[in-house]
Amino acid sequence: MASVQYREIDGRSGGFVALLGALGLLVLGGLAAAWTMEHQGHHITGMSNRIVWGTPHVIAVFLIVAASGALNVASIASVFGRELYKPLARLSGLLAVTLLAGGLAVLVLDLGRPERLVVAMTHYNFKSIFAWNIFLYTGFFAVVALYLWTMFERRMNRHTKPTGLVAFVWRLVLTTGTGSIFGFLVAREPYDSALLAPMFIIMSFSFGLAIFVLVLMAACRWTGRPLGDVVLRRLGNLLGVFVATVLYFVAVHHLTSLYIARQHDVVRFFLWDGGVYTALFWFGQVLTGGVLPLALLFGTTSRRAVAAAAACVILGGLAQLYVLIIGGQAYPQLMFPEKEVASSFFDGVVASYAPSLPEIVLGVGGVALALALTAVALKVLPFLPRSLADGDVGGRA
């Protein structure tokens, strides 16, 4: 493979200015939504004392999980020595940082009292997975920044592989911590599962790669840079493997629950009697996020099919997290096992939830922030190769 040449984008066209302007408006809308929820109170949202994690948390967790997965391309290049992915490593690291920044921004602004974050940063309860995640998230920023430095600075290139190995391990731990937030909640029957941690890891691979593929295709097309079929085909095949593995873990998760007698009602709720959550599971998570991408990726080799598959994975991922996070809270909490409970406090009743406009706008604002940071970084620093044509990257992985 010839030496890879990188160049920042010009960013002088009207389209680029319009893109930044549109993303900036969405970010401002997200800030306005956060300000409105803080001053009016969370009663204007669909959240309640039963549904405390709403749509913003779904989008925030999606971005955080995808940030870990977006770094997978760089890890394949440096840790596993696959030369075909080396020209993509810088963009992979950039997306890891920007997606995490967007996700954490939504997470902080959805707390209701963002200033209380100072308390969480100065008083640690190490029995809480949330306290550990503060170190994992901030450490991820530092490790990926160091990783990118070894890529940009020629004299530091010899340190890229060991630094990449540290980043690889760190992101696995980070995603395990994110999944463990739910897996450790033993009081919630839909969450209490050791499978959630590894499931979140493979979900991160799928979501992050889907976003990476769309950003790469858009950046190359809008800047007129060649993107060969070899790179796109390899990324598409890899995405298909990750999508199939996510479906496998989802199947094992529910089959395991069916084996446990006290979990039968939980499985019935999600797969059959859950109303909107059942519909999102089958049509959003399984069909749109699993079956359809596999059919597109392995049934045809066209670029539109790869882009459509990546978009479907993103939509299916959001549906999956919506079902897991919000559906898991909506399911009636078992207060007294093996006892019948009857009261006027909605015991045994599925909690109602409908996302409000401020919640949606805040979540979209976090996505826009991640994309805006990516666009600005591509203009300022040379993250993108001049060419990813088949002749420039080689025909073998």
CA dist., res. 36 & res. 185, Å (int): 30
The string over 216-238, giving b where at least 16 C-beta atoms fall within 10 Å of a residue's C-beta and e elsewhere, is bbebbeebebebbebbbbbbbeb
Average pLDDT of every residue of the chain? 90
Residue 291 pLDDT: 97
Tokens linked to 76: 């394949």
Total length of the chain = 397
Q: Are 239 and 206 in contact (CB under 8 A)?
A: yes
Model confidence at 112, pLDDT cuts 50, 70, 90, reads: low
Which ranges constitute the DSSP H helices of the chain? 14-40, 55-70, 72-78, 89-109, 117-122, 129-152, 160-183, 196-223, 229-259, 264-268, 276-279, 292-299, 303-321, 327-330, 357-380, 390-393
SS3 341: coil
User: For 358-393, what is each residue's pLDDT tens digit?
Assistant: 999 999 999 999 999 999 999 999 999 999 988 877
Q: In terms of pLDDT, which residue wins out, 102 or 3?
A: 102
Closest by Cα among 181, 206, 172 to 66 = 206
- Tell whether the torsion through CA atoms of 372, 69, 306 and 367 is positive or negative: negative
In which region does residue 42 sit, left (phi positive, over 0), alpha (psi from -120 to 50) or beta (all else)? alpha
Residue 1 pLDDT: 47
Average pLDDT over residues 166-180: 93
Cα dihedral 244, 246, 251, 257 in deg (nearest 10): 170
Model confidence at 165, pLDDT cuts 50, 70, 90, reads: very high
Q: In terms of pLDDT, which residue wins out, 158 or 339?
A: 158
CA dist., res. 51 & res. 277, Å (int): 14
In which region does residue 318 sit, left (phi positive, over 0), alpha (psi from -120 to 50) or beta (all else)? alpha
User: For 147-162, what is each residue's pLDDT tens digit?
Assistant: 999 999 989 999 999 9
Tokens linked to 301: 């080799």
CA dist., res. 294 & res. 306, Å (int): 10
User: For 65-110, what is each residue's pLDDT tens digit?
Assistant: 999 999 999 999 999 988 899 999 999 999 999 999 999 999 988 8
Residue 3 pLDDT: 72
The string over 35-44, giving b where at least 16 C-beta atoms fall within 10 Å of a residue's C-beta and e elsewhere, is ebbbeeebee
| Domains of the chain and CATH, by start | 14-333+349-391 (1.20.1630.10)
Residue 308 pLDDT: 97
Residue 129 pLDDT: 76
**Low-confidence winner among 3-12, 119-128, 135-144 (lowest mean pLDDT):** 119-128
Residue 244 pLDDT: 97
Say if residue 334's pLDDT is above 80: no
pTM, whole model, 2 decimals?
0.93
User: For 270-302, what is each residue's pLDDT tens digit?
Assistant: 999 989 999 999 999 999 999 999 999 998 879
